[in-house]
Amino acid sequence: MPEGLSVWRTLKGAGVKYVKFVIVDIFGRPKLEILPIDAARDAFIDGIAYDGSSIPAYTTVNRSDFVAEVDAGAVYIETWNEGKTALAFTSTLDGDKPHPMDPRNALKQTVGYLASRGYEAMMGAEVEFFLVRGNPPSLVDSGAYFEGYPLKETIPVMEEIIEHFYLSGIGFTKTHHEVAPSQFEVNIPAGDPVQVADQILVYKILAKSIAQRHGLIATFMPKPFWGVNGSGMHIHVSFWRDGVNLFASYKEPTPELKSAIAGVLNNAVANSAFVAPLVNSYKRLVPHYEAPTRVVWGIGNRSAMVRVPYYGMKINRFEYRHPDPSANPYLGFSAILLAAFEGLDKKLEPPAPVEDVAYELEGVKETPKHLGEAVKHASEGAAAKNLPQQLVKAYLSLKEKEWGDYLANVAEGWDKTWNVITRWEYDQYLEVA
């Protein structure tokens, strides 16, 4: 029996009434084709036929008949909607080949390339976000890091989110209140990069839906409030060969870990447009709010861009603290993996790890000051050189336009608004990011 048909039968037997087939756009946002369960049977076997010209940057109207092939191993139940609906991820085909404009295909190809070179990557994500009310948003609680019992409005929302995180099929997780008021973190368990990227999208759909039922907005906008910490999406990475973690050691980092870190640091400025993709992202990347501004690494140092977790002097991964939760996880993950691989492949050596508070360092590379600067540097990195050129060109063109739209609509310009969250940003990002 075809795997897709087996999954369809399982869904129908579980009482699922509708299937939402997910097509990922160039920004990493889910577009949906919704079918009743009986009509969905053939789609699990033959795929979804759709108009590709209606997906931003996918194709032109004269060449737009596409088929999205269903990934039978990437199906999640919307248990927060009484289990009546399932989400099924797809990958778009161009004829009989992966369509180069589908970012999910780009990450699958990156993972496949690493496999061809003998590597398996594992990635996990710490996703930070705010629960807010209204637009412009207002804070819902006054909690601080690890706050608990006084949070009468937000804790019930988080308990419901965590319950459905597990029930939907993502797995077990943990959560806690973050440093800023109304801010929380949820961990996506480490796994295959494509699976984890899918689960980030499922999680964002889940969190937004549950928050909405409580009269709130779950926003993944990187910096919704000035003067408090913004939201990051810290990515944990390990590389494996023949079942052995090349980054695992005690007390001292392995040569492989250091080389991978060197690759990530070398590509950090170029990768900024992929991992911190919004105008608003660069209002997060300012000193003293636990967001990295200096391109350095450290062991157990949360002010560094790349941190090596060092609990009990055990080492098994690196944490890249540059990304934020508005990033397209498929493109962001591809950029990170290609950078780390470049370091491994060339046996690069990083500078010495930083022990001081990195925000105070002088004479070292810094993150771009704004999105326009990030776009200018993007073509210099491994991601832009190795991802499908059609995809890279379209993505950077859209990001350049986004920067231009900000300057056209915010009369004061960047120099006078870098430390102010504007109405334009709220309208563009609060509920969409």
Classify residue 367 as exposed, middle or buried by CB count within 10 Å of its CB (0-12, 13-18, 19+): buried
The H or E element that residue 183 is part of is: strand 183-191
Give yes or no: residues 408 and 265 share one domain: yes
Give yes or no: residues 44 and 163 share one domain: no
324: CB partners within 8 A, 6+ apart: 222, 230, 231, 232, 233, 275, 276, 278, 281, 284
Residue 6 within any structural domain of the chain: no
Tokens of 297: 């690494």
Total number of domains constituting the chain = 2
Which of these three, 71, 99, 127, is where a domain ends? 99
1: CB partners within 8 A, 6+ apart: none
- What is the rounded CA–CA span in Å between residue 172 and residue 162? 8
pLDDT tens for the 433 residues of the chain, in order: 678 899 999 999 999 999 999 999 999 999 999 999 999 999 999 999 988 888 888 877 667 789 999 999 999 999 999 999 999 999 999 888 999 999 999 999 999 999 999 999 999 999 999 999 999 999 999 888 887 776 788 999 999 999 999 999 898 888 888 889 999 999 999 999 999 999 999 999 999 999 999 999 999 999 999 999 999 999 999 999 999 999 999 999 999 999 999 999 999 999 999 999 999 999 999 988 889 999 999 999 999 999 999 999 999 999 999 999 999 999 999 999 999 999 999 999 999 999 999 988 989 999 999 999 999 999 999 999 999 999 999 999 999 999 999 999 999 999 999 999 999 999 999 999 9
Residue 3 within any structural domain of the chain: no
State which amino acid sits at residue 389. Answer: Q
Give yes or no: residues 306 and 330 share one domain: yes
Give yes or no: residues 207 and 307 share one domain: yes
Give yes or no: residues 57 and 145 share one domain: no
The residues that bridge with 186 in the sheet, in sequence order, are: 127, 175
413: domain CATH number?
Answer: 3.30.590.10
Give yes or no: residues 199 and 341 share one domain: yes
75: domain CATH number?
Answer: 3.10.20.70
Residue 54 within any structural domain of the chain: yes
Give yes or no: residues 36 and 168 share one domain: no
- What is the rounded CA–CA span in Å between residue 164 and residue 92? 28
Domain enclosing residue 68, as ranges: 15-99
Tokens of 432: 């969409």
Residue 5 within any structural domain of the chain: no
Question: What global pTM score does this model have?
Answer: 0.97
Give yes or no: residues 59 and 157 share one domain: no
Residue 9 within any structural domain of the chain: no
Give yes or no: residues 263 and 200 share one domain: yes
396: CB partners within 8 A, 6+ apart: 273, 375, 378, 379, 384
